[in-house]
Chain A
Amino acid sequence: MTTIDPASPCETRNPERNVDALQLALQDNVATLLHAIEAGSTCVVAAPDGPRTLKAIESIPIHHKIALEPIATGEPLRKYGEIIGEARRDIAVGAHVHIHNLISRRAR
Chain B
Amino acid sequence: MGRRTFEGYVRPDGRSGVRNQLLILSVGHLTGPSARRIARAIPGSRLVAMPYGSSLIGADRALQMRAIVGMASHPNVGAVLMIGADGPKLKLIDQAIRASGQSLVTLCLDDHGHDALTLSDRGLREGARLLREISRQRRQSVPAASLLLGVECGRSDPSSGIVANPLIGRVVDRLVDEGGRAVFGETMEWLGAEHLLRLRGRTTAVGDALAAAVLRRERLAIESGLDLLGNNPNPTNVAAGLSTIEEKSLGSIAKSGSRPIESLVGIGEAIDGPGLHAMDAPSFSPESLTGFVASGAQLMLFSTGVGNSYVSALAPTIKLSANPEACQSLREQLDFDASAVTLGRTTPDEATERLLDLCMEIASGSLTWGEVLDEGDEVLSRLGEAL
Contacts and interface: CB of A to CB of B under 8 A. Distances in A.
Tell me if chain B binds chain A.
Answer: yes
Interface of A: 1, 3-4, 6-7, 9-11, 13-15, 19, 22, 24, 32, 34, 61-65, 79-80, 82-85, 97-99, 102-108
Contact of A63 (B159, B169, B228, B253): B159
B348 A97 contact: no
B57 interface: no
Nearest to B238: A99
A97 B238 CA distance: 12
B163 interface: yes
Interface string B236-273: 00101101111100110110011000000000000000
Contacts of B195: 1
Contacts of B158: 32, 63-65
B243 A83 contact: no
B384 to A, nearest CB: 21
Interface of B: 157-159, 161-163, 166-167, 169-170, 191-193, 195-196, 199, 218, 221-222, 228-229, 238, 240-241, 243-247, 250-251, 253-254, 257-258, 305, 323, 325, 341-345, 347-349
Contacts of A15: 343-345
A97 B199 CA distance: 30
Nearest to A83: B246
A52 B219 CA distance: 41
Given A6-B258, A107-B218, A102 B163 contact: no
B222 A107 contact: yes
Contacts of A98: 238, 241, 243
Given A10-B347, A63-B157, A99-B229, A104 B246 contact: yes
Nearest to A64: B241
Given A9-B163, A32-B158, A108 B222 contact: yes
A106 B246 contact: yes
Majority DSSP secondary structure for residues of B touching A: helix
Contacts of B240: 63
Can you list the 10 inter-chain pairs with the closest CB atoms, starting with the nearest?
A: A6-B166, A15-B344, A104-B244, A84-B247, A64-B241, A63-B241, A85-B244, A63-B158, A13-B344, A107-B221
A6 B258 CA distance: 9
Contact of B247 (A3, A10, A13, A79): A79
30 contacts: A1-B199, A6-B166, A6-B169, A6-B348, A10-B162, A10-B163, A10-B166, A10-B344, A11-B348, A19-B344, A22-B162, A32-B241, A34-B342, A61-B241, A63-B159, A63-B323, A64-B158, A80-B250, A82-B192, A83-B246, A84-B247, A85-B246, A85-B247, A103-B244, A104-B229, A104-B245, A106-B191, A106-B218, A107-B222, A108-B222
B11 to A, nearest CB: 33
Contact of A105 (B246, B257, B325, B341): B246
A24 to B, nearest CB: 7
Contacts of B342: 10, 34
Contacts of B344: 10, 13-15, 19
A5 B166 CA distance: 8
Given A84-B244, A106-B228, A6 B250 contact: no
B351 to A, nearest CB: 9
A15 B244 CA distance: 30
A54 to B, nearest CB: 18
